[in-house]
Structure 1
Amino acid sequence: MALHRPAPAPLALTNRGSRRPAARALLVPTLLLGAGILTTKKLDWVETDEAAREEIREHLATTTSLDNQLRYLPGVTALGLGLAGVEGRHSRVDQVLLAALAFTLNDAVTTQLKDRTHVKRPDGSNFHSFPSSHTSVAFASATFLHQEYGARSVWYSVGGYSVAALTGALRLAKDNHWLSDVLAGAGVGILSTQAAYWLYPQLQQPVQKILGNRAMVLPTYRAGAVGAVLVVAL
């Protein structure tokens, strides 16, 4: 299995050359995370969670389940394009492994944050509100589509992030999450996929140098622990 290395997409993290690409890549998700934290505070110059909830419940309340499917759509689209023969940034096998790594990282970070922050949902159903996992998955998925096909057409990126934003909006409209949950979820999702694109070569290259293209590393996450499985074709 060979890694294909065309020019990185605009948000791609890189560990080669200047640090500027990495800094630019971190800007948007860092701002989203910061906004998510700020909106939990009662600051005069920031729209608070409570104020945002009141406006949303008055004008946008819904009970749809569409958000459950939308969160995966950009990622499924990216993998579908690869299977259909549309050339992306990486080979089809690499795309699957990158997606697995991105979603493993995303699940690990989101789960840990939910457990540690212990924020009560606006509907009072449980204390796993911060950050929004639906939004996190949706933005991880959209960033994956952007990384693989954004350089081919900007509309792939626009479509992916529009679907992710709609997913977050529906979580608010259903009263499942606070505004801060959704903003932070978007930041975590983007960072998860960006981190996967930086980590993937670091994981694969040492193994393949020793065992050749017959080997690959698959990420795992179970019971709160992130790990990896080495697969060797005999």
Structure 2
Amino acid sequence: MKQVIFLFILATNLLFSQKKDSLIFSEQQKFETKKLIIPATLMTAGSIVLSTENRDFSVTENKNFLAFGGYPEDYLQFAPHVSLYAFEWAGMKPKTDFWNRTAILAKSEIIVFGSTYLFKKAIKKPRPDGSNEFGFPSGHTANVFAGATMLSMEYGENYRWVPYVAYSVATGVGVLRIAHDKHYWSDVIFGAGLGILSTKIAYWTHQYQWNKKSEKDNLTILYKEHL
């Protein structure tokens, strides 16, 4: 169990240090097998923990353990998504124009919520608090890591601090889900990998059909002439 949690922390740290994806002038990203390593590691680790974890332990059994009130993660899970546009309004430069960025975000959300729902329905794992059988994987964690990945891909190359903040918030949401007795470690670890993978797929499959006229501006033409 400790080894798998270590892998989760290691994989999250690798997200901070990995080479940022290049989205120059909204060109379609090429699929690269190496970019599957981190989400695959997290999802594999989550699956391993799922089969070995002690589900008799409940956070609520220990009154001194992270006794939070309310569920701030219900809102925090959308912080990276809001930041995708808030950062631009604040003067920061994203890698993708508004319409293509919005299309990619919509595609990522469809993938992450759709896949999360299918896993929950298929596995029917009880939550630690016994409220229902939709514990695996963590939808909050999957969603926030999907948003954090997109935020990092859009702004991380020009603003190196963005991935650190984005993935710190995402990790915090996962911890809060455990602290609030809504999920086990396996749910959160697998959800993180699923969220990252969902956004990667959204970029890999996007054709950049939106806002094509922006590619005809003088700056783009000048850039392409000097390639």
* Counterpart selection for 2:174 from 168, 187, 195: 168
Work out the number of aligned pairs and report it.
190
Structure 1 residue ranges without an equivalent (≥5): 16-21, 43-47, 215-234
What does residue 200 of structure 1 align with? 206
How far residue 84 of structure 1 moved from its aligned partner, in angstroms, is 4.0
Greater percentage in helix: 2
| 1:27 alignment partner, one of 14, 20, 37 | 37
The Cα shift of 1:25 comes to: 1.3
Partner of 2:119: 113
Task: Evaluate the alpha carbon distance shift between residue 150 and residue 34 of structure 1 in structure 2; reply closer, same or farther with a 3 A threshold.
Answer: same
CA distance in 2, matches of 1:132, 1:56: 21
In 2, the alpha carbon distance for the partners of 1:200 and 1:149 equals 18
CA distance in 2, matches of 1:29, 1:118: 22
Greater RCO (Cα-Cα under 8 Å, separation 6 or more): 2
Q: CA RMSD in A?
A: 2.6
Counterpart of 2:49?
A: 39
The DSSP-based 3-state class of the residue aligned with 1:50 is coil
Q: Does 1:6 align with 2:24?
A: yes
The residue aligned with 1:88 is: 94
Matched residues in 2 for 1:121 and 1:113: separation? 14
Matches within 5 A, 1:142-221: 142-201=148-207, 204-205=208-209, 213=212
Structure 1 Cα separation of the partners of residues 203 and 106 of structure 2:
11
Cα deviation for residue 110 of structure 1 reads: 0.5
Superposition deviation, residue 78 in structure 1: 1.5
Instruction: Tell me the TM-score normalized by structure 2.
Output: 0.75
| Superimposed CA distance per residue, residues 198-231 of structure 1 (whole angstroms, 9 cap, x where no aligned partner) | 0111xx55xx7xxx949xxxxxxxxxxxxxxxxx
1:7 Cα deviation (Å)? Answer: 8.3
Question: In the alignment, does 2:82 pair up with 1:76?
Answer: yes
Whether contact under 8 Å (2:59, 2:181) holds in the other structure is no
Q: Is the 8 A contact 2:59 2:180 kept in 1?
A: no
* Structure 1 residues 56 and 149: alpha-carbon distance in aligned structure 2, compared to 1, 3 A threshold: farther
**Amino acid of the structure 1 residue aligned with 2:55:** E
Cα deviations across residues 139-168 of structure 1 (Å, max 9, x unaligned)? Answer: 001001011001012210000000000000
Cα–Cα, structure 1 residues 170 and 120, in superposed 2: closer, same or farther, change >3 Å? Answer: same
Q: Separation in 2 of the partners of 1:27 and 1:41?
A: 21
TM-score, scaled relative to structure 1? 0.73
Structure 1 residues 56 and 88: CA distance shift in structure 2, 3 A: farther
CA distance in 2, matches of 1:56, 1:76: 35
Alignment partners' CA distance in 2, 1:55 and 1:14? 46
Deviation at 1:135, TM superposition (A): 0.4
| Aligned partner letter, 1:102 | S
